[in-house]
Structure 1
Amino acid sequence: MEPFSTTPGAGFRIGRRELLLGTAAAGFALAVRPVAASTVTTSAEGLDAGWVSVPAADGAVRAYRARPARGSGLPVVLVVQEIFGLHAYIQDVCRRLARLGYLAIAPSLFDRQGDVTVLPDIPSILPLVATVPDAQVMADLDATAAWAAASGGGDVSRLGITGFCWGGRITWLYAAHNPKLKAGVAWYGRLVGQASDLQPLYPIDVIPRLKAPVLGLYAGQDDGIPMESVERMQAALKAAGSPSRIEVFPGLPHGFHADYRPTYREAAAAAGWTQMQAWFRANGVV
């Protein structure tokens, strides 16, 4: 097998035969199967990786964390899931970050409402996700950061966050929520939308409240996030004099980093990953 590389699209690849046999798909949500042959699996060798229990106000939250096997005082990155839950791809992102020297931890943010990984399709998932309050998500991310500091060997004075799709929106919101956050990187999260009691704000609403700079990585041909909304967000950030910014990848579909899906674009995923690392370094998440 190939040695691990820190750029997405490299590392240990799952073979097509394994995919056809179903072994590789075992850790993925039902709604995303069949899993693409481009799927990347990062070895846990040399890492301390696995499931932990994070104390929260109303019980405990499951979380997947990965970190170098040795060392303490590690910079911390919160990883926020897509609508498909905390499945194998998000876990692998944590291991990729751990190989860069981070304590990366992804809390399972839908558990109180149900297990989306066993649902068969997006129409089944969306009603459940709509019942997840933003306030609950913010509190669970706070609890996860506190666990990383108290139990995981993390240094939350160097705290970052990154999220994908549903987690992209949450990344912007968390940057407006936590004054201790150093930086965020949002991968194609929705920027505008219809407010509800449980999800009262969207990223465009919280620009004046941002406490940490956010880098947005967006797709030029995203079926779910129109360029009009991206341009509106860019203009609002500029008008506010915000250090946050959005990078648009022209001609790409939503989910271009998601290597387990047909929307994956290896070169753009690697470029975005490099930009994420640079953003974290420039803003003290090192």
Structure 2
Amino acid sequence: MSQPSTPAGFSPAVSLATDTVIHTDNAGLIEGDITIRRGAEEIPAYRAAPASGTQHPVILVVQEIFGVHEHIRDVARRLAKLGYLAIAPELYFRQGDPSKIASIDELREKIVSKVPDEQVLADLDATVTWAAANGGDVDRLGITGFCWGGRITWLYTAHQPRVKAAVAWYGKLVGPQSALQPRHPIDVAAQLKAPVLGLYGGQDAGIPLDTVEALRNALTAADSASRIHVYPEAPHAFYADYRPSFRKFEAEDGWLLLQGWFKEHGL
């Protein structure tokens, strides 16, 4: 991990823990905002990649509930430093701008509750198409996501056969089915197209351990190569260095597990 620095560009809906914020520089990278065409629409996104070479393996970075703010951009740069083309599309852009919303409850009500899973999966498909046309090797495609994006990571791995490996950080696993959210990770355990590494906190108040165990059992029943790792003392969002929930040991260990998982599966 890189060294801490002064925060900027974070969601106004969170309380910052400024003394632990990590900043990854852009030395040796090409990075910045892009747009991704999907039909008549243009999806805003952030991408980071090594400045030299081409045909880099591709990692989709799926935002937290707070959108593609500075933490997610930094994660993309961290991946780019490892040799990946990392792309984080703005998956709420039709519903609203999370950077304009100052509370998490308002964010859930005004934006997140209106985002259909089908739209998200199609936007990620469009992101893969963009990567293939812009120096990415989509035969080496991975995905990682955090919180809201952790759930999407499971769903996308069941949706997209080009995915080779995935890492889902503390994504919700169960829930009521609706028109916008017809399935949850527990429902797609037998349909995963690639192995998923799930990273969870034993003290996560929003993701009870019995739901984690239920998914583990479903994966075993499906003879899946996916795996779940639980950090017993970690809360939700333990990787989020800009929040009080950050746990340095678990975050660094999880990052090492992510790297090993992607390498093990050819990324």
Fold shared per TM-score above 0.5: yes
| 1:192-216 alpha-carbon deviations (Å, 9 max, x no partner) | 0111101110000011111111000
Letter in 2 for 1:139: A
Between the aligned partners of 1:138 and 1:278, the Cα distance in structure 2 is: 26
Residues of 2 paired with 1:192 and 1:34: CA distance? 29
Correspondences of 1:213-252 after superposition (within 5 Å): 213-252=195-234
Q: Does 1:136 align with 2:119?
A: yes
The letter for the 2-side match of 1:146 is T
Q: Describe the SS at the equivalent of 2:127.
A: helix
1:174 corresponding residue in structure 2 = 156
Matched-pair contact (CA < 8 Å) for 1:36–1:262: no
What percentage of aligned pairs have identical amino acids? 56
1:118-197 pair list within 5 angstroms? 118-127=100-109, 128-151=111-134, 153-197=135-179
Q: Describe the SS at the equivalent of 1:229.
A: helix
**d(CA) in 2 for partners of 1:169 and 1:92?**
20
Aligned residue runs from structure 1 range 19-98, under 5 A: 24-25=7-8, 27-98=9-80
**TM-score normalized by the length of structure 1:** 0.91
- Helix, strand or coil for the counterpart of 1:209? coil
Query: Which of residues 81, 102, 127 in structure 1 aligns to 2:84?
Result: 102
Return the alpha-carbon distance in structure 1 between the equivalents of residues 163 and 235 of structure 2: 29
Q: Which runs of 4+ in 1 moved over 4 A?
A: none
Distance 1:243 1:219 in 2: 21
Shift in Å, 1:58: 4.0
Which residue matches 1:3?
none
Amino acid in the other structure paired with 1:245: R
User: For residues 145 and 154 of structure 1, what CA distance do their matches in structure 2 show?
Assistant: 9
Q: Within 1, Cα distance between the matches of 2:54 and 2:208?
A: 42
The runs of 5 or more residues in structure 2 that have no matched partner are: none
Deviation at 1:34, TM superposition (A): 3.3
For the pair 1:13 / 2:8, whether they are aligned, the reply is: no
Aligned length: 266
Deviation at 1:12, TM superposition (A): 3.1
The amino acid across from 2:260 in the alignment is A
The one-letter amino acid of 1:221's match is Q
Q: Which runs of 5+ in 1 are unaligned?
A: 1-6, 19-23
| Paired residue secondary structure (1:257) | coil
CA distance in 2, matches of 1:155, 1:34: 36
Q: Matched residues in 1 for 2:84 and 2:21: separation?
A: 22
